[in-house]
Amino acid sequence: MTDTRSPAHDIARSRDLPLHDWQLSVENAVGRLTGHIRHAGRGAFEHLRKAWRLHGVDDEMSAFRAITAEEEAATAVILALQRQRYPGANRLNAWNHVHKMAFWPLIATINDFLFRSGIPAPRVSLSKRGRPRVELHLNIAALAGMDDGDTWASPDAPLNFGLRAGEADNAMVHRFEQELAELADRSGAGSILRYIQAEANQRNRLLYASQDGIPHVEFHDDMLRSRAKRVCVLLMLAIIVAQTPQHQIFVLQCLEAMLVALERIEGQLSGYPELSASGDRPLLTIRRKQGERGTISLTAPVDVGGIWQGGWDAERQIRATAARVTYGQTDL
């Protein structure tokens, strides 16, 4: 939790939690899920709204509700992973605070990694009716470093691609270990172990007195808006996992990275997926080194739109079965 020591009511504020249109779309989609995943998602929004109303009245409980909202959203992700029988998902415990609070540090780390790598933001769309579905559209021309092109490819499932690091011809599955360590250093925690444990212990620090006295926090509304963003991103991930029984390659990759981090916290944790056996097929490969023009290789049908002067018939619309994106070492 970010403590900015700012009053809750510096300026006029709405009584209801202000959400962006995309966040309201996520809430609508959550209502079209089923079972415990749906209830966890709806509970997350309920906690967010109560946190907003409590801010300035009971700041400790406001912060507690906001943290609980994030944990409920993480619960939805865990339940979706387990419902789809992802390898290693059974090692996650939806009642374990450490497990639930480990999701956001990994997401933040991946976001920073992609940003620093110069990877262009994808287009994301969310269905408005029926069973919730997310689609991801990648600008493969920009990914390959092409200045003249607006060529988009959609994996058959939103996260059915892999991210590898190293020399382009010998790249290895990236586990984000260095980036997680950097995140811990920036926070002052010193290690990802202490960082995640501190995140998970926030609720207790808000509820119980310590040798220093009774809990007291002050924070700005931006903390609640930040938690709302976290909740919506996590719930989008839950939808992505829940929408298909197919084990998506990047989900496997991130799950492995998270389980490896948790292994260090809990002493032993095995059974995480081996990506070499995950069905990671090189159907779409993009190679790029800094300062050099990228190359695109299509070895199987990919759903592509736009103009690209290459070995592809622009008149044909063909569907992907998987995609893999590979980056050179110098892009990291």
**pLDDT score, position 42:** 98
- Does residue 15 lie within any of the structural domains? no
Rounded CA separation 208/167 (Å): 51
- Does residue 58 lie within any of the structural domains? yes
Q: Could you tell me which residues come within 8 angstroms of residue 155 by beta carbon, excluding any fewer than 6 positions away?
A: 136, 138, 161, 320, 322, 323
Distance set, CA 205 to CA 2, 3, 120, 187, 224 (Å)? 14, 13, 39, 18, 18
- Does residue 4 lie within any of the structural domains? no
Rounded CA separation 301/227 (Å): 40
- Does residue 13 lie within any of the structural domains? no
User: Could you report how far apart the first and last alpha carbons of the chain are, in Å?
Assistant: 29
pLDDT-based confidence at residue 173 (cuts at 50, 70, 90): low
- Does residue 278 lie within any of the structural domains? yes
**pLDDT score, position 329:** 26
> Average pLDDT for residues 5-32, to the nearest whole number?
80
Q: Are 41 and 35 in contact (CB under 8 A)?
A: no
pLDDT digits over 22-41, tens only? 999 999 999 999 999 999 99
- Does residue 16 lie within any of the structural domains? no
The residue segments making up the domain with residue 258 are 21-331
Whole-model pTM? 0.77
Q: Over 60: is that where the pLDDT of 2 sits?
A: no
- Does residue 83 lie within any of the structural domains? yes
pLDDT digits over 125-140, tens only? 999 999 999 998 877 7
- Does residue 73 lie within any of the structural domains? yes
pLDDT: which is higher, 110 or 190: 110
pLDDT digits over 219-246, tens only? 899 999 999 999 999 999 999 999 999 9
To which residue do tokens 């009584």 refer? 15
pLDDT digits over 291-302, tens only? 554 444 444 444
How many H helices and E strands in the chain?
11, 9
Give how many domains the chain has, as a whole number: 1
